């Protein structure tokens, strides 16, 4: 999925979905999409199990889209069934939380 705005609407309408922000803690603190959990790409293997089962719908975003695409492939390889990279926050039109 390439349009983060469409991806956020899908996340919001998916029961039990998890939204993960893959930017660093400083960027997350400056502004993130409502409901997003901060997780660094290098820690996602360990941290994802604490918040999601293999069948949990997972939506990923970062700043420009590359890290979220890489994390999507990694999670799919680890057996997560419903993972979607929704791109970069640099193209997000909505409000951000601090």
Q: Catalytic positions, please?
A: 62
Residue pair 25/41 in contact by the 8 Å Cβ criterion: no
Burial 12-35 (b: 16+ CB within 10 A, else e): eebeebbbbbbbeeeebeeebbee
């Amino acid at each position: 999925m390439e349009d983060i705005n469409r991806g956020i609407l899908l996340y919001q309408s998916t029961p039990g979905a998890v939204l993960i922000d893959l930017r660093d803690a400083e960027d997350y603190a400056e502004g993130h999409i409502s409901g997003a959990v901060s997780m660094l790409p290098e820690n996602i293997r360990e941290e994802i199990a604490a918040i999601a089962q293999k069948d949990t719908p997972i939506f990923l975003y970062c700043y420009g889209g590359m890290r979220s695409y890489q994390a999507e492939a990694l999670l799919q390889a680890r057996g997560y069934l419903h993972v979607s990279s929704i791109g970069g926050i640099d193209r997000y039109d909505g409000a951000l939380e601090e």
